[in-house]
A and B are shown apart, each in its own frame.
Chain A
Amino acid sequence: MYQYDSYDQAMVDARVEEFRDQARRRMEGRLTEDQFKPLRLMNGLYLQLHAYMLRVAIPYGTLNARQMEALADIAEKYDRGYGHFTTRQNIQYNWIRLEDAADALADLARHEMHAIQTSGNCIRNISADHFAGAAVDEVTDPRPYAELLRQWSSFHPEFTYLPRKFKFCVIASAKDRAAMRLHDIGIRIVQNAAGETGAQFYVGGGMGRTPMIAPLVRDFVPIDQLITYAEACLRVYNRYGRRDNKYKARIKILVHELGAAEYTRQVEEEFAHLLSVGVEPPREELARIAEYFAPPTFRHPSESWDLEQLQSKAAGDPSLRWDDGFGLWVRRNTHPHRAPGYVSAVISLKPVGGIPGDATADQMRIVARLAREYSFDELRVMHTQNLLLPHVRIADLPVIWAALDAAGLAAPNMDTIEDIIACPGLDYCSLANARSIPLAQRISERFAESGRTEVVGELKLKISGCINACGHHHAGHIGILGVDRKGTENYQLSLGGSEAEDVSLAKITGPGFDEDGVIAAVETVTDVYLDARTDGERFIDTYRRIGMEPFKEALYG
């Protein structure tokens, strides 16, 4: 994985000192809160309900064991012993003191991490497919391109005061595991018929109060023009994105109002101009970065097992509890790997009744140790608020599972109704209208206790505590949106969303529910699905086939 050189290190070190100076000027009263707020936000420091919150970037979701241990240390030294992993491959600390923030940033910098541009109206952390470098179906590892974008976007002099925040996502396979088309710019790395590498640009997607699926703006940008094209997209947005209304300031509104064709025309014009100016990094830079992402040296398949061998060896071991323990976890939480004898193993941060995405410092250290011993010192933060050991030998799975199980990290529920994406909601967030976490806790308990999780199969449930949609409710097979109804929490149910390659936006079922009501409603819609499904149909497939009416009828009829 990527390692800082002295230039990268100097940049983050300088940024820490710059922020230390800004925080000092704020505490001395030389900056007003209005002046300081955008500066602290560009260093990831929010003021939330209970305290300052620090959002730390984990670029394209990749980190090593030492970095995960550093995150654990920060959780204990400056926070309350835990952190929250987010859908955009960040970690958030909920209880950071302003007077400690620069020290925490300095600790991050020592481990090649930062909180730069994790908030503010600038280019945010670049996210990527969490299976990058491991998935069987990818054209190439998308992370070198994400790192190139990270460097280009860091302290970009022209794009630091954009109309609104700006999120990039980079994938490199037909499958979309990163909600690529729900980003401001989604990039898919592709190869053309001639075998040349290039980038598809999807521009103007997003969730929030006006969810939109990004249209394709350019089918093939030659890879040595990637940065130039991104610069053109951003410049058109910086100049013409709306600044009169915060809620209409995202690029999706610009693309929508101009129309994708006119936006594209303007970008192409700017692109031609910028090609003549010459803003692309030297070609060798991409090659330099790519070397860091060279695949690890996988062992010969004869030194591992395939999944059948694993089953034959493990099924007879009662300590592994093949049917409902280890075997279930292997079936649910492992993902095919490009190297024979290997899989990627999902570490669920969704224990039944737990807080989605939260991990204690001790859990982070256990995960770090497993990465060091069994996954070439590599970890990923998943878009689904879980963690991932990207490269593990199938033969090592029993010992990995046992360690995870002992630490409460082995919930066998990837992509099930227990694998809920939930924003922090009104328990932590100053923007929220309703709580999200308690709903996630109760729904996962309800389905786990009744044994229906396994029966229902793949079902993506996503919960947001306000219209900003950090919990991706628009993109849930089932989505829940918390609203404030006359001072009490109320929840709107929606169905039919997806953030995968079959991307779609969910539709609201009808009037909202109270907390108990919406939990019952989730059960009701899964009842309708189970009654109506044909062989092999997922919830979303059945919904698409039978439409909203049968669900509405069951809910309100």
Chain B
Amino acid sequence: MVESRDLGTSPDEVQFRFRDDEPVDHGTVTVDSCCDQTNATAVRIEPGDDARLLLPFLDRLALVEVNFPSFTDGRGYSAARILREAGYTGELRAVGDVLIDQLSHMLRCGFDSFAPDKRLDEGDAARAFATWDNVYQRAADTRRTIADKRHEA
């Protein structure tokens, strides 16, 4: 059994959460560990990890943390969408160098909780989450796109 207490964020560190269920109250394991052990329910994806390795285990996962060591490394956006496209419905938490101006994109890619290294200004964040009334692309948030709206009957 891999010691996982010190890996990952705790519920206290989550600044924004758009879910009603109880947050997972234990630490996460690495993707490798998650694939090796049968009982892990929380996992942490690093930028270089292949999110698709988790697909066989989605049913048992309640929390996936995606780490952004630097906000300029955008691999976590693809990881998030891949999990949502595969039907993952548990908590998807963006952690690390999560800043105001990335929040709206993260939301669209399927993240529903946010644990930034440095707490964000609440007002700025609220504005950022609400940035786009409409969107051009289909994404994990399944919003109807501008093109959909243009052509609705």
Contacts and interface: CB of A to CB of B under 8 A. Distances in A.
- Chains A and B share a contact (CB less than 8 Å): yes
Interface of A: 5, 7-8, 10-11, 14, 18, 21-22, 25, 30, 35, 38-39, 121, 151-152, 154-162, 235, 238-239, 243, 273, 277-282, 284-285, 288
A277 B139 CA distance: 10
Given A10-B133, A155-B136, A278-B138, A238 B147 contact: no
Given A7-B146, A155-B135, A238 B75 contact: yes
B94 interface: no
A157 B127 contact: no
B78 interface: yes
Contact of B139 (A30, A157, A280): A157
Interface of B: 47, 50, 71-75, 77-78, 81, 85, 99, 101-102, 104-106, 108-109, 121, 124, 127, 131-139, 145-151
A18 B124 CA distance: 11
Contacts of B149: 7
B151 A156 contact: no
A514 B127 CA distance: 55
B132 A155 contact: yes
Contact of B72 (A14, A38, A238, A284): A38
Given A160-B105, A277-B85, A288-B151, A121 B139 contact: no
Contact of A7 (B73, B104, B150): B150
A292 to B, nearest CB: 13
Nearest to A150: B136
A273 B51 CA distance: 14
A248 to B, nearest CB: 15
Contacts of A239: 50, 75, 78
A11 B136 contact: yes
B75 A14 contact: no
Nearest to B76: A161
B109 A157 contact: yes
A157 B105 contact: yes
Given A35-B99, A38-B72, A161-B72, A282 B134 contact: no
Main secondary structure of the interface of A (DSSP, over half): helix
Contacts of B150: 5, 7, 284-285, 288
B44 to A, nearest CB: 17
26 contacts: A7-B134, A7-B150, A11-B132, A11-B136, A14-B132, A14-B133, A21-B127, A151-B136, A151-B146, A152-B137, A155-B132, A155-B135, A156-B137, A157-B77, A158-B139, A159-B74, A159-B77, A161-B77, A162-B74, A238-B74, A238-B77, A243-B47, A278-B138, A279-B138, A285-B151, A288-B151
A7 to B, nearest CB: 4
Given A281-B148, A282-B147, 10 more contacts: A7-B150, A10-B133, A152-B136, A154-B136, A157-B104, A157-B137, A161-B72, A161-B77, A243-B47, A285-B147
Of A35, A151, A158, A280, most B-chain CB atoms within 10 Å: A158
Contact of A161 (B50, B74, B124, B146): B74
Given A155-B135, A238-B78, A284-B151, A243 B127 contact: no
Nearest to A5: B150
Counting chain B CB atoms within 10 Å of each CB, the highest count among A35, A239, A243, A279 belongs to: A239
A282 B138 contact: no
Contact of A279 (B74, B109, B132, B137): B137
A154 B101 CA distance: 15
Contacts of A281: 138, 145, 147-148
B71 to A, nearest CB: 7
A275 to B, nearest CB: 12
A34 to B, nearest CB: 9
Given A121-B72, A151-B136, A158-B109, A282 B148 contact: yes
5 closest Cβ pairs, A-B complex: A161-B74, A157-B108, A157-B105, A285-B147, A281-B147
A236 B77 CA distance: 12
A243 B136 contact: no
A386 to B, nearest CB: 31
Nearest to A236: B78
Contacts of B124: 25
Contacts of A288: 150-151
Contacts of B135: 155, 157
Contacts of A277: 85, 138
Question: Which among B75, B78, B132, B137 has the highest number of chain A CB atoms within 10 Å?
Answer: B137
Given A157-B139, A161-B74, A238-B75, A11 B134 contact: yes
A244 to B, nearest CB: 10
Contacts of A282: 147-148, 151
A358 to B, nearest CB: 33
B146 A160 contact: no
Contact of B101 (A22, A152, A158, A279): A22
A21 B121 CA distance: 13
A151 B133 contact: no
Contact of A151 (B105, B108, B147): B147
B73 A243 contact: yes
Contacts of B109: 157-158
A241 to B, nearest CB: 9
